[in-house]
Structure 1
Amino acid sequence: MSGNKPSPGFTLVELMVTIAVLAILATLATPLFGDLIQKNRIDAIGGELTHLLQYARGEAITRGSAVTVSSSDGNWIGALSVATSSETLRRYGSEGINGSSGVSASGTSTSVTFAPSGTLSGKTTSLTVTLCPSSGTASGRTLHVYGSGQISSSSTACSS
């Protein structure tokens, strides 16, 4: 008897249900994916800014002279320069650190100077820089530079 054997493929109904479930999952995951990308961007920029500050501190100790990191407009991810009294060691143009579009940064000062001992000197006794997304609900990052020259980083809540 040559009966009807079941087909090894999918029925149209099974295929439509699978596509509907995938569409629902994609709709739920898309906003979370955007926040993840924004958080990774903030973490990368925070890491680069921390590295730049550590570089300036290390150069101050190595050279035995004060090194200043300054932000021309108070935006700590925009145009930055690292300089001694006689030469510029590094400079970031207006494009900023790590293609920093979509991220805003504000600091408690527009410059910070490391003494030859690696501690902060001058008018600024500490520096706090807060990095937040320009839009969205991702958390931000706060960098702290203490008077001792130590640099730390922590997560912070940002209001959009």
Structure 2
Amino acid sequence: MLKYPVLPLKQHGFTLIELMVTVSILAVIAMIAAPSFTPLIERWRVRSAAEALQSTIYYARSEAIKRGGGITISAIDDDWANGWEVHGIDADGDDELLQTSGASTSLAISEESDATELALDRWGTITPVTDFLLTPANKDENAASATRVCISGSGLIRHLPGSEECNPSTPDPDPDP
């Protein structure tokens, strides 16, 4: 009988030890990189909330023009950090909830004039003229990610760094937020 020589089998893949070492190295690298992502995440959250507020104002303005006024944007539980609601008057003269936006718990949102409600008339004019300061929780207006949302009576909305004050003559550094 012919005997064939037995060739050793090649092993494919990783051993358990190699896999554990690789995962450990990746975990250490991720732990080193994680703190550097914090400012990026804070900026993203602030910008997202600022854009949500801007979107709500644009929506409320369009509803005010469409309905002939009677639209309000109000802070939930008298605190803008809890979010905001858009209310209108329906055909029967009753208050109608049109939109609700919840704010992130990781943000602080303050309104400059301490108003808890913004009113919009039939031309979409906003009263009071105000600005909002959005900051990551436990940070002040000087934080790099802080944003000030300036709202004019005509509805022009500008985004400024948190440390800057709203001034009608200040050009918008970010015309397309």
State whether structure 2 residue 134 is matched by structure 1 residue 131: yes
Q: 1:81 to 1:101 in 2, by over 3 A?
A: same
Query: How far, CA to CA, are the matches of 1:74 and 1:143 in structure 2?
Result: 19
Question: Offset of 1:44 from its aligned partner?
Answer: 0.6
Q: 1:138 to 1:30 in 2, by over 3 A?
A: farther
Which letter maps to 1:46?
A: A
CA RMSD of aligned residues (A): 2.6
Question: Offset of 1:73 from its aligned partner?
Answer: 3.6
Larger RCO: 1 or 2 (CA < 8 Å, sep 6+)? 1
State whether structure 2 residue 121 is matched by structure 1 residue 115: yes
Q: Where does structure 1 lack aligned partners over 5 or more consecutive residues?
A: 1-18
Higher Cα Rg, which structure: 2
State whether structure 2 residue 57 is matched by structure 1 residue 53: yes
* 4+ residue runs over 4 A deviation: 23-26
**Which residue does the alignment assign to 1:156?**
162
Query: How far, CA to CA, are the matches of 1:132 and 1:53 in structure 2?
Result: 19
Query: How far, CA to CA, are the matches of 1:31 and 1:72 in structure 2?
Result: 33
Q: TM-score, normalised by structure 1?
A: 0.69
**Which residue does the alignment assign to 2:99?**
90
Q: Could you tell me the percent identity over the aligned residues?
A: 30
CA contact (8 A) 1:139 1:157 kept: no
Question: Offset of 1:79 from its aligned partner?
Answer: 3.9
Q: Where does structure 2 lack aligned partners over 5 or more consecutive residues?
A: 1-24, 165-177
Which letter maps to 1:75?
A: D
Q: TM-score, normalised by structure 2?
A: 0.63
Question: Offset of 1:30 from its aligned partner?
Answer: 3.1
